[in-house]
Structure formats: C-alpha cells, structure tokens
A and B are shown apart, each in its own frame.
Chain A
Amino acid sequence: MPPIFTEECISCFKCAEICPCDVLRESDEGPRVAYPDECWHCGACMMDCPTNAIRLDLPLWMRPVTKRLKK
C-alpha cells in the first residue's frame, strides 16, 4: 500500500518532488498520499528520502510468494 512516513520525516518533500506517479503532495502534517491507488511501489521515495523515513508496504499481489525448498 502507499508509502508510510515515520517520525524520521523532516518534511523536506523530496519524495513529493520526484514521485514518478505524482502520488504525493505537501501538507502541514508532512507528505500526504493524495492518490493511494496509483502508487507504483517503485521505491523512488524511499531511495531519495534523506532521513530514511519512508517504508513501503507492498500490496498482496506484489509481495513475493516464497517457499523453503531446502531440506
């Protein structure tokens, strides 16, 4: 699901500046996810956040489905 902003966020809004899908906006409470259905989950915001304040929570269909095949 769309980006989650932690307490480390300093409201520099670099994430909103570079988001490839234009999903984020500035607000007085920090970055706001304006278009949650349009997040590509590319991670650009996470990469460029200067304080590592962003986490992505991939929607179920994007999550790896894994198995431990090793005995």
Chain B
Amino acid sequence: MNIHSTDVLILGGGLAGCMAAINAAEYGVKVTIVEKSHIERSGAAGTGNDHFWHYNPDIHPERGWTIPDMVRDISFEGEYGKTKAGLMDQELLEIVAEGTMEAVNNLERWGIQFKYDKIFPWNLEYDAPEGEKKYRIVPQFQSAWDTLNYDGRDIKKILAEQCNKRGVEIFNRTSATGLMKNNGTIVGATAVNMRTGEFHVFKSKAVVMATGMDQWRLFKPYSGDWFNSQSPPTITGDGEAMAIRAGAEVFVLQAGKTSNAGFQYFRNLCRSSGAATTSYPAGRYVNSEGETMIRHPAVREPLRKHRENVEASIRDGKTPFYLDMTMASEEEIAYAEWSYKNEGLCWVILEIMQDLGLDFREDAFELDLEAAGRLTGGFLALWINTDCETNLKGLYACSPVQFAGEVAAPTAVVLGWRAGEKAAEHASKNSLIEPSSAQINEEQNRVLSPIESKEGHPWQEVNKELNNIMEEYTGYVAGWSPPGNRDEISMQGLQNCVEQLEVLSSRNMKAGDPHELVRCNEVMNLIDVGLMIVKAAMNPDQYEAGNWFIGKIIDNEPVFEKRPIKIKYPPKEEA
C-alpha cells in the first residue's frame, strides 16, 4: 500500500482536472492529479478540440449581447428548444460565460493559438486594433456568434506542461476507486495503478471530482462496440459511483439521456462532432437524392428549423442522409479540414480518408439516422452549487452544468478552474484528517477482490449482462424525457431489474492483471450507477421541469428529492 498526503487531490486529469490543478497550484498548496490514462491525451479533449464558445466583453456588448442574454439563449432557445427549459443551471452557466474570456486568455498565454492573421468571410467581422490578429468566430450552438475555431489539437499537452511547471504531482495510469470519509468530511481517496496493481491511499484536505461527464458501457453500445464512443469509453461513471457510495448528492436523469446526435454524427455515431459542427462552413446535409435538407448543420438554428425537411425526406424514402461538402469552395473545405485536424477523434478521419482514397471534394459521407427522442437510458452527475461544492464537506466537482451537454469544453475549463480555486481555499484553511484504517482495509479488499479471487466472471461478461438489464429497464420506463411525457411504468418490472442488478453486483469477477482489475472496478461502478437510475424511476416523486431531481444514499438506500431550480433569466416572453 502506498500512502500519500496532499492538499488538493484531483481525481481525473482531463480538461477540468488539469485546469483545477493549474489554478489550485497558484494558491501555493500541494496539488495531486490521479488520472487513469495519461494527462497528455486523456479525456474528451485528449485528441483535440476545435470549438470553444466564449463571451467577449470587447465584441458582444456592442452587438447587443449581454451575459444574461447568452444564458437565456442557451437555456431556452438552444438547439434542443424548450425541452431543455429548466434542465440547465443558469447560475452555473452564467459563471461559465463569465469565465470564458479569462480561460481563452490563459490558454493563449500558455501557447494555444486562438488569433490569426487571416480570417474568412464566414467568420465574424469585427474591429480589432491595428495590426492585431483576430479570432475566427463562427455561430455554432447559440444564437450569438461566439464560438472560436482554434488550434486545439494539443490542448492537453499544453495543460500537462502547465501542470508540470507548477510542480503538480501527477499519477498517470492510476484509477481512483473510492472516496474516504471521516465524520461527514471527505478526507481523501483510494486508487489503483492500472499497470502494477498497487493500491494507493491519498490523504487530502480537499478533493475535486473531475472524472468526466459520461457513463459509457452502462447501456448497449450503439454500434455493438463499447469502444466506439464519442468520449473515452473508459469514462464509466467512476466519479458518480464513488460519490454515491460516499453519500454525495447526484443529479439524476433516469430516463432519456437521449443521444442528441440524431444525424449530427457519422454512421454508427462515430467520430464525435465530425459531421455537423466540424464541417462548418462547407457542410450540407443532403438526402439520398442529393437534395439539401440543411445548410450549415453546425449552426443551432437550421438543425431545429429544418427538421421538417428531414422528416419529409424520411417520409419520401430518400434515405440515408449524407454530409456533403462537394459543393463547397476549396477555401471552405480547407477550413473544415483544419477543424477536423483539431477536433477530437477527427484528425484520424483525415488520415483514414487518405488511406481509403476518400476526399470531401468528391465524396458524401453517410450520416447516422437516429429517430428523435430515442430513449438511451439514464444519466447522473454530481450536484454542485455555484462554488463547485457538493453536499459533502471537502468534495468539489466540475459537473456539466447540471446536465447541459452542449456547453462542452468551456464548462469543463471554467468550472474546473473554479473548483481548483475553491478547493485550494478550503485546503489552506483546513488540516489533514486521518481516514480510518478499517475504511482503508475494507476499500482495499473491495477494489482488489477481482485480482485476488481464484475464480470469477471476466469483466466483459458482467458488463454485457449489465447492458441487458439496463435495456430491460428502459423497456419498463416507456416514454421519454422531458418529464411529463412518461407513460405508465411497470413497477414490478423495475423491481425485477433492481433484483437482477443486486445479484449481478454480488457475482465475483476475475481479473487476470491490473488492467483487467480496473475494468472490473469500472463495471462495479456502472452497476452502482445503474441501481441509482433504476431506483430513481421507482420513486413516487419524479423528475419534472423546474426541479432538480437529486438522489443520495442514506443508510444504504437511495433517497430522492425534488429541488426547485431558480430561473434567474426566464424566457423573454415570460419576464
């Protein structure tokens, strides 16, 4: 067993975790990152990011955009329409908007290029001081033109360098396994090395949960392959499971983390946002007759406004659909290719296209045709307040603005930064508290049991059966979020799922090596996440618009409550 002490312990070294570490280190406290892969290429931005929305005080106010306008726009009029009303925490979103300019300035100072000599006709025209380079701004998710296209392919390497410069202690290949608690306060975490199998105990004055915003492998994979996912397939709700076990509050969306992809992605939901946002401005969505259904699919409005074109094409049998750049100018295609080079998972598309002899100038790319409102299951996130605090003293998190997936990189960057600051402040005012050795031993036994057991099921077998149970669960929760659209559910069916999950969690797994050990722990975490989601669906109180639906474990059973959302900026017609 390896025992360490630190001031601020950051679990997860993606965008949020690295920003938290860099900021915390500025406060003169000792900072430690625990990352299950390697911080240079970890997380959803591991292989890059090409789009970052921001609020720019030198550009937006003179165009009539205030931060409240932007918050209102994202909350109520964004891509998903009023169905998202109330699903976004506007106070957190406001904090994100307020923090984006500072984030861009920091990233630029650290070596990431955001400004260019040349901007293009499809970029926002604005006045910059004489001789100064300009941002390449495009419209993307919001009505305001606020998205920066930039050279973000190696953003993680830049952040890793900044962590190293500040003396942040980094444990790569080390997967966090559990939070340690003493008298209601979080006092650290345990972890296991994925290569050596060594068990680690990190005592810490503050902990930041930055483990990523997905629970991959909980439900059946869309294309039959767990390892084909939009963000790392190793983001398996570890943070949420650790938090649940420690008694933290989690925001529960129990039915309907509908894949918002629709036809934003290539066939089989591949390659992140390559199809839509990254093809701007060259892209068109065309039907099988080559008729343009949506021009500029990246831009918020067309996707929502031209849905009827899409539906007409489906009715008329003009499927499948394609991303077509063949009608674009050379300059537009070159810009899209520059975006692909920088966006996560997309650089590889360019390489593969070379190998397969494909070219955006000649070929149209088949899109995924996903029915709107397809129920894909449930989702959890650690609930946080505007100081990134969870309900557990000493535990901070950088959750995705209480489920608002479209806000992406800026959310991780700004809330990570903020969580780092708050955690550092907490650490400077508090002392280390010892975890109990009983707790450590219990945790060590739990985590290492698959490698210590003589026999058991391989992780893949348990994972598949988990997928089957969760599929059965979605069948019992007919209907779809938004709330109120849910049809009658089968309580008996849900209870059946709970029982199956409990039996599944009692089955021993066998790991042949430390890598498989971590996979086994991921599956254990996913089962805990699944139980929370299914039990939430059995609760008499359900998720409804205008309320957060929060769950936490009390005396080994989850307890749920509805917590009213404060709408700081209601839609204009209601104001």
Contact = CB atoms under 8 A, between A and B. Distances in A.
Interface of A: 17-22, 34-35, 37-44, 46-48, 55-59, 61-70
Contacts of B47: 42-44, 47
Contacts of A57: 355
Give the residue among A37, A55, A64, A70 with the most B Cβ atoms within 10 A: A64
B41 A69 contact: no
Interface stretch (B343-351, B418-426, B489-497): B343-351
A44 B40 CA distance: 10
Interface string B265-305: 01110110000000000000010001000000000000000
Given A35-B515, A64-B356, A43 B40 contact: no
B289 to A, nearest CB: 9
Contacts, number: 122
Contact of B42 (A20, A37, A43, A55): A20
Given A21-B233, A47-B47, A58-B352, A65 B40 contact: no
Contacts of A66: 358, 363-366
B200 interface: no
Contact of A42 (B46, B173, B353, B355): B46
Given A43-B351, A66-B363, A20 B326 contact: no
Nearest first, the 9 A-B pairs at minimum CB distance are A43-B348, A66-B363, A65-B366, A44-B41, A18-B41, A69-B290, A61-B223, A18-B38, A20-B37
12 contacts: A18-B40, A22-B194, A35-B515, A38-B227, A38-B233, A41-B348, A42-B232, A43-B347, A57-B355, A61-B224, A64-B363, A69-B322
Query: DSSP class of B's interface residues: helix, strand, loop or mixed?
Result: loop
Given A22-B515, A44-B47, A59-B225, A64 B290 contact: no
Nearest to B274: A64
Interface of B: 36-38, 40-42, 46-47, 153, 173, 194-195, 223-225, 227-229, 232-234, 266-268, 270-271, 286, 290, 322, 324, 326, 344-345, 347-349, 351-353, 355-356, 358, 362-366, 515, 518
A62 to B, nearest CB: 5
Query: DSSP class of A's interface residues: helix, strand, loop or mixed?
Result: loop
A47 B349 CA distance: 12
B225 A64 contact: no
A44 B348 CA distance: 9
B194 A40 contact: no
A56 B348 CA distance: 8
A30 to B, nearest CB: 18
B347 A67 contact: no
Contacts of A41: 227-228, 348
A3 B349 CA distance: 15
Nearest to B515: A22
Contacts of A64: 266-267, 349, 352-353, 356, 358, 363, 365-366
Nearest to A41: B348
Contacts of B349: 64
A39 to B, nearest CB: 6
A64 B350 CA distance: 11
B363 to A, nearest CB: 4
Nearest to A40: B227
Nearest to B460: A37
Given A22-B173, A46-B348, 8 more contacts: A17-B38, A18-B38, A21-B234, A46-B351, A47-B41, A61-B268, A63-B352, A68-B362
